[in-house]
Structure formats: structure tokens, C-alpha cells
A and B are shown apart, each in its own frame.
Chain A
Amino acid sequence: MLDWLADPWTSALMRRAFFEAMLVSGLCGVLGCFVLVRGLAFLGEAIAHTVVLGVVLAFLGGVPAAAGGAVLAVVTVLLASAIGSDRRFSVDTAMGVLLPSLFGAGVALIALSDGYRSTLADVLFGAILATTQTDLALAVAACGLTGLVLALAGKELVLVAFDRAVAQAMGYRTGLLDLLLLGVVALAVVVSLRAVGNVLLAGLLLGPPVTARLLCRSFWGMAAWSAGLGVGASVAGLYLSWYVEVGGGAAIVLVVAATFVVVAIGVRLTGRVGPSERRVLSHDAYTAVL
């Protein structure tokens, strides 16, 4: 048993993969809670795709990939906010326009630049075993920066998420706080690409928070649970990928999804949700889906 547990850790590649996965899933777990309560799931998904254009442009321009990705993430947020502020469009439509067009441009550029073609699969599904020391350092830096932002402005960010109008009335600069939040989310997305790739990233960013949301009522409790679930799922996912030989990113996301399904069923069966709570707002949720 001990051998079974220790075996993956004997490989240096796997050790780095474990650290990388735990760092980015903890980071995504905490920031995903903001994404969840702000209803920004599509924004997270859109950024995860549009950064590909930035990564390719950075490769062609010979600058670090993370820098290119970060620039495109910020560009996406600014464009989405500009289109979404048009009376005629929802933020949903803005993202619906930006995601395919910028991602499509990125994919087309990859096809046009021969040198990059072979790595498209890595961009899509991640290549966690190829984690370098630089990747790890970036992930640590992103975690540190996010920790700093949350320590300084955490409660203000929660306040804005809960009630924008009141926060504004209290004199907070909500636009600045939004930018701060979206900045760290964009950072988290960029550093997580290595681990899970852009098509799987939504799972890491949204899965642990929705699961945690079912388990607790307070925001910070949810963030703690979410980070824990993310780290746990990434460790379990990497064990899975070591022994069953499936891709690391895919395995992690499948563990995350399975955890959500189990918790959702468990919560429904044990009735931890008050029936009144569920019913009163369910109509709202329905219109949100449709």
C-alpha cells in the first residue's frame, strides 16, 4: 500500500506534476468561488480559450508565453466589458463573439506557423508531465500575488460580489475592484494552462467551487472547501493517470466532476438543503438557464 502510494513520487517528472497540479488547483479553487458568485463562468471559459492566441503570438514574437497569454486575457476582459456595456448585448453574447473569434484566430495561426503545430494538443489538453521549474515558479508567484490581493481586498471583493450597488454607495471603487479580481482570475487561467490545457480549464475553475457551494453557506468556508477539493482532486487525478495511463489533466477534471456528482446526489438524498430554499429561487434559476 505504501509502495503503491509512494511509487508515483519516485519520478521527478511526477513530483513536479504533483506540485504544479496542487498549486494551480488550489488557486483556481479559491478564485473560482468569485467566478461562481459573480456568475462569470462563461468569462472564465472564454479567457481560457482566447489566451491561446496570446500564447501563439508570444511564441512567434519570441517573448514568454505567459506574458502573451496574460495580455490576451486582459484584452478579452476589456473587450467583453466594452461589448457588454452596449445596451443591445448581454455579457453572454460578448463572450460568445470573443471566444470563437479570438480562439479561432489562435488556432489558425498555429496551423500557419509550422513550428508550433505539434504542440496544439498540449495547449488543448495540457501537458502536466512537461512542467518545468519555470512553470512551478510562475505558479508559486501567482499564488503569492493572489494571496496578497485577497489579504488586502478580500472582504471588499466579496462585498462587491454580493451587492454592487451598496458597495458603490459605500464609496468603494467597484470598477477598480472588478479589474483587480479579473486580473488575478486571468493570471490563474494563464498559469493553469500547463496543467490542464484550455478546454479542460473550466473544470478546475468551476468544479471545486460548485461542489463546495453545496456543502457550505459562508463565502470563505466555501473558498476553503473549494481549494481543498481542488487539491485533493488533483492528487487523486494524478494517481489515476499514473496507474490507468490517461492524461493527467483529463484525469483531474474527471475526478472533480465525479466529486460534484457524488456530493450533489448526497446532498439531495440527505436533504441538507432546506426545501424552501430550493423552491423559492428555482424559478429564477430556470430562467437563468434558458
Chain B
Amino acid sequence: MFGPFDAPYMQSALLAGLLLAVPCGLLGVWVVLRGLAFFSHAVGVATFPGVVLGLGLPAIGPFAGSLAAAGAFGVAVSSVETDHRVRGGAVTGLALAAAMATGAVLLTTIAQVSTPVETVLFGSLLGISDTDVARCAVVAVTALGAMALLWTRLEASTFDRAWAEPAGARASRTDVLLLILIGFTVVTALPAVGSLMVSGLLVIPAATARLLCDRLVAMSACAVALCAAEVVIGLALARELDVAPGASIAALGGLGFALAAAVSAARSGLARRAPAT
């Protein structure tokens, strides 16, 4: 009756994906509104050497490895990018390429890695353990709690930083918390969608929601719902077509964005044609 989700591993993947939709949708909204898409993509890519190291050395494990790599990336980039001459993401780009190169070298030097590189980069349906599902649940609950606490500060400081800072939003502290939350979400989503595709889960549903909604609460709800829908359909497609879930979910998200853009354009076209009141 479950169709593509009859196998137990598919049910794990589905559960993990649905849990991930909560933090990815909620945080994705801020990623889109604050222009953090490159950062999210880069954190995902930067985890690659950590995952490889974690797979090669079971004492570390891919989760701890990727978490350490993401943290190292955040510290490295934020310490260099304070120099105005190299801002605009160039250091981020260099750092993510360097991380990829390190991962590639580790792959050829640590012989024990039996996991194919495609699995690390684009995710796998088979790799979702119960521990991964539990981590997804923890991150989902954490994201919900953090949003409840940080919502007003995030809203005020994203909308108008010059006002929010004197009004007591503690903007820079909020920024750092948000980045850490995004980092944790990215790392948790890795087994399902892979290092290269994780930004698809964060950015695409939220951007699609922005096309459809003009209010923050509606946009957030819409982003979570879209993220969940894309995960369910994307996982089913991945199973049926035998492709990596990260790739199918991201491609599906792109399709959803294109549809929403068409709907939005048609809507504003209608509004323009309607007589002005």
C-alpha cells in the first residue's frame, strides 16, 4: 500500500526527510531573506573531507567528521572575510574548493572508504540509520524552539539592521546563532541528500514559498510544507528511477520553483490588468 515506501529503509528515509523539512523550511526562509544561499551551499560542500575522514576512521564517524569540518569552515571563512578586499564570497569559494580537494586526496589515500563518492556527494536512500532519524528529530525540535525564541529578533534585524541594533535585537549574536543552526541542519541532512545537494533542501523550498507568500508566517509554513512535499516525491522518484535522492529532490525543487514563478507571474499579470481601484 505504501508503494515506493514499502521497504523499511525507505520508511527510515521518509521519516528522516519529513523531520528535516521542519528545520530546512524554517531556516531556509532566513537563508533566502538574508542572502545566505552561498554560505549554506559552501558549508555543505565543506563537510566533504570530514565525511570522508569519518568513513575512513570509524572511531570518528561521518557525523562528527562533518560537524568538525563545518565548524572549521565557518571559523576559517569568518576570520578571513573581515578583510574588505576579499569579500563577496571569493574566500568562501576558495575554501569550499580547497575542502573538496582535501576530500578527494583523502579518498585516494584512506583506502578503507568503501562508500562510493556519489553517495557522499548526492545522498543515498540506503544510508539512513535510526541514529540519523533521531538526529533529524533533535534538529527539528531545536529549530522549532530556536525559532520561537529568536523569531522577533531575526525578523527585526533582517528587515532593518540599523533600527534593530539600537532597539536591542543583539543582531550579531542572533546572526551567529542562525549560522550555527544552519550548520547543524546541513550536517544532519547529509546522509539523505549529500554534501553537494543540501542547499537545495534549504534554499529552493523557501525561495518558492517567497514567490507564493507575502507574509513571513505564511512563507515559513509554506516553505516547510513544500520541503516535505519535495522530500516525499523526490524520495519516491529516487527509488523508482534508481537515482541519488539529493539529485532528484533538488531537480524536483527546481521544477516546483519554475511552476511557482509562472503562477506568481500570472497572478501579478492579472492584478495589473485589473482596473485600478
Contact = CB atoms under 8 A, between A and B. Distances in A.
Q: Determine direct contact between A and B, CB below 8 Å.
A: yes
Interface of A: 35-36, 38-42, 44-45, 49, 83, 88-90, 92-93, 95-105, 107-108, 111-112, 120-121, 124-125, 199-207, 209-210, 213-214, 245-247, 249-251, 253-254, 256-257, 260, 264, 273, 277-278, 281-282, 284-290
Given A100-B254, A124-B117, A278-B83, A254 B90 contact: no
B87 A288 contact: yes
B204 A100 contact: yes
Interface in B219-243: 241-243
A108 B80 contact: no
B94 A207 contact: yes
A95 B45 contact: no
A214 B202 CA distance: 33
Interface stretch (B12-20, B59-67, B124-132, B245-253): B245-253
B170 interface: no
5 contacts: A101-B253, A111-B243, A202-B94, A256-B97, A260-B94
A36 B88 contact: yes
Interface residues on B, range: 35 or more
Contacts of B86: 36, 210, 213-214
**Which has the most chain B C-beta neighbours within 10 Å: A102, A253, A284?**
A253
B85 A89 contact: no
Of all A-B residue pairs in the complex, the 10 with the closest CB atoms, nearest first, are: A101-B254, A96-B37, A203-B97, A100-B200, A104-B250, A39-B88, A281-B84, A257-B98, A96-B203, A41-B89
A101 B77 CA distance: 26
B98 A41 contact: no
A35 B95 CA distance: 16
Given A107-B243, A251-B101, 15 more contacts: A35-B90, A41-B38, A41-B93, A92-B36, A98-B254, A100-B253, A101-B250, A107-B122, A107-B246, A111-B243, A111-B244, A200-B100, A214-B83, A245-B108, A289-B87
A101 B196 CA distance: 11
Contacts of A287: 161
Interface in B65-91: 77-78, 80-91
B247 A210 contact: no
B248 A200 contact: no
Given A199-B100, A203-B98, A206-B97, A45 B41 contact: yes
B144 interface: no
Given A88-B210, A281-B84, A284-B87, A289 B93 contact: no
Interface stretch (B3-11, B27-35, B183-191): B27-35
Nearest to A290: B175
A246 B31 CA distance: 36
